[in-house]
């Protein structure tokens, strides 16, 4: 059960009304098949149910479907021992989604509505049994194989064909259950020649269009036997930016932990911000600054990528200009593992949520 489109039956749909200036809300319930009933079905029948849940009458021709003018969020809710769920830092996602919509010159979805709708959305689907239950067995491998609810809010434009910006966007919230994101035998990364984001572009916005280049670069990397791709900056072609859909950290020989500083070409990851905070609390000197691929090649002893889907995933090596630079003898590094344990422990409720990151549902 990796990353697939096994959608929950109930989705949230709202549209901005430019006349009233409000958001017209509705709930779209495709069916009322409980999770237990769905699990008892044949695979073919289940596929039909899932397909139907992904059908909602949104405009076919619009700025999102034609020009990739749209943005989205990825947020997880983690099952707790007491049967509740904890959404991890949803206020941060609400804020980023608001900023993304503003960045696309669309009426931005109010943050309080985002939070309220997300909570209500999970409650409604839970009533039909769609929330994975906490499993003690997850603790054995520090939640490496644990399940969570992946919540995907996104913006979708009204019908349109010319060049313009969205004036009456939809916001949809849907979800699916997920476990680990990266699959495959190795955790090798390769530096790509492609450019994900340019200064004055949209790299800082979680927008659909950014993903096209990322997906092409990732496919090329996978076809060559790598798990992940690393992008360099567009101007100097020297400084590391991020992975295909995750931020990146480097531990140097002197113990410092470096991650590229935010700017208009780097996505401000919530996992990134959380990892910085957790590492500093461990006494690690964390620096947000430029880091060149040459410096990584010379001084890096541990590397990991971070994201809601990826968690904290170790990278065993980076290949650049045909040469492979191996970190920590290809074994997961000690610092990344320690931070991952803190992060997952907090998310699944095994460690006290001292920073108030979890919102209980
Ligand atoms: C979503 C995303 C990330 C990770 O952000 P999180 O908030 O940690 O999930 C990193 N890079 C890109 C390009 C992204 O789209």
Q: Does the beta carbon of 245 sit less than 6 angstroms from any atom of ligand 1?
A: yes
Q: Does the C-beta of 271 come closer than 6 Å to ligand 1?
A: yes
Name which of 230, 235, 238, 287 is nearest 264 in CA terms: 235
What SS3 class is residue 333? coil
C-alpha of residue 265 to centroid of ligand 1, in Å: 12
HSE-CB for 276 with a 13 A CA cutoff: 17
pLDDT at 1 over 60: no
Evaluate whether 85 touches 131 at the Cβ level (below 8 Å).
yes
**How far apart are the C-alpha atoms of 139 and 294, rounded to whole Å?**
39
Domain coordinates of the chain in residue numbers? 10-178, 188-330
Tokens of 292: 């060149």
What tens digit of pLDDT does each residue of 41-88 get?
A: 999 999 999 999 999 999 999 999 999 999 999 999 999 999 999 999
Instruction: Give bridge partners of residue 247 from the DSSP assignment.
Output: 306
> What proportion of the chain, given as a percentage, has pLDDT over 90?
94
Whose Cα sits closest to atom 14 in ligand 1? 245
Two structure tokens written together for 46: 């289940």
pTM of the model: 0.96
For 188-330, CATH number?
Answer: 3.20.10.10
* CA atoms of 154 and 17, how far apart (whole Å): 17
The average confidence (pLDDT) of the chain is 95
The reply to whether ligand 1 has any atom less than 6 angstroms from the CB of 246 is: yes
CA distances 66 to 4, 59, 96, 173, Å, are 24, 11, 24, 21
pLDDT tens digits for 237-269?
Answer: 999 999 999 999 999 999 999 999 999 999 999
CATH number listed for the domain at residues 10-178 = 3.30.470.10
| Whether the CB of 267 sits within 6 Å of ligand 1 | yes
Nearest CA, atom 5, ligand 1: 269
Q: Which residues pair with 191 in a beta bridge?
A: 230
Q: Is the CB of 89 under 6 A from ligand 1?
A: no
The number of the ligand 1 atom at minimal distance from the alpha carbon of 271 is 8
Terminus-to-terminus CA distance in the chain, angstroms? 23
Helices (runs of H) and strands (runs of E) counted in the chain: 9, 16
**Best substitution site from 89, 207, 247, 312 to test ligand 1's pocket, by max atoms within 8 Å of Cβ?**
247
Angle, CA of 75, 81 and 83, to the nearest 5° = 75
| Per-residue confidence band for 2, with pLDDT thresholds at 50, 70 and 90 | very low
Is the shortest distance between the CB of 275 and ligand 1 below 6 Å?
A: no
Map tokens 């927008």 to a residue: 207
Total residues found in the chain within this entry:
361
From CA 182, how far away is CA 178, in angstroms rounded? 11
Per-residue confidence at 183, pLDDT binned at 50, 70, 90? low
Rounded CA-CA distance 74/90 in Å is 10
């Amino acid at each position: 059960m990796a990353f697939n489109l096994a959608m929950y039956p109930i989705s949230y749909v709202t549209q901005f009304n430019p006349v009233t200036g409000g958001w017209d809300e509705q709930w779209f319930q495709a069916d009322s098949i409980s999770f237990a009933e769905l699990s008892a079905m044949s695979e073919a029948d289940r596929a039909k149910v899932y397909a139907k849940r992904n059908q909602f009458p949104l405009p076919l021709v619009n700025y999102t479907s034609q020009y990739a003018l749209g943005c989205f969020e990825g947020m997880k809710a983690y099952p707790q021992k007491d049967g509740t769920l904890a959404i991890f830092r949803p206020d941060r996602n609400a804020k980023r989604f608001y900023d993304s919509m503003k960045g696309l010159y669309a009426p931005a979805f109010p943050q309080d509505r985002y939070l309220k709708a997300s909570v209500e959305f999970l409650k409604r689907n839970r009533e039909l049994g769609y929330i994975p239950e906490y499993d003690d067995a997850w603790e054995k491998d520090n939640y490496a194989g644990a399940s969570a609810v992946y919540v995907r809010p996104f913006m979708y434009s009204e019908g349109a064909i010319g060049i313009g910006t969205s004036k009456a966007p939809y916001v949809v919230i849907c979800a699916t259950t997920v476990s680990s994101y990266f699959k495959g035998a190795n955790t090798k990364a390769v530096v790509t020649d492609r450019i994900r984001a340019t200064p004055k572009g949209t790299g800082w916005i979680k927008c659909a269009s950014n993903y096209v280049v990322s997906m092409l670069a990732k496919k090329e990397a996978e076809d060559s036997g790598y798990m992940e791709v690393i992008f360099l900056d567009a101007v100097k072609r020297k400084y590391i930016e991020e992975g295909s859909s995750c931020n990146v950290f480097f531990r140097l020989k002197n113990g410092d932990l470096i991650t590229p500083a935010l700017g208009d070409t780097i996505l401000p990851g919530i996992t990134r911000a959380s990892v910085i905070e957790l590492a500093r609390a461990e006494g690690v000197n964390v620096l947000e600054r430029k880091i060149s691929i040459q410096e990584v090649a010379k001084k890096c002893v541990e590397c990991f990528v971070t994201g809601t889907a990826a968690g904290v995933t170790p990278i065993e090596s980076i290949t650049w200009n045909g040469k492979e630079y191996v970190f920590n003898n290809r074994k997961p590094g000690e610092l990344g593992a320690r931070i991952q344990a803190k992060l997952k422990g907090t998310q699944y409720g095994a460690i006290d949520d001292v920073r108030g990151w979890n919102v209980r549902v």
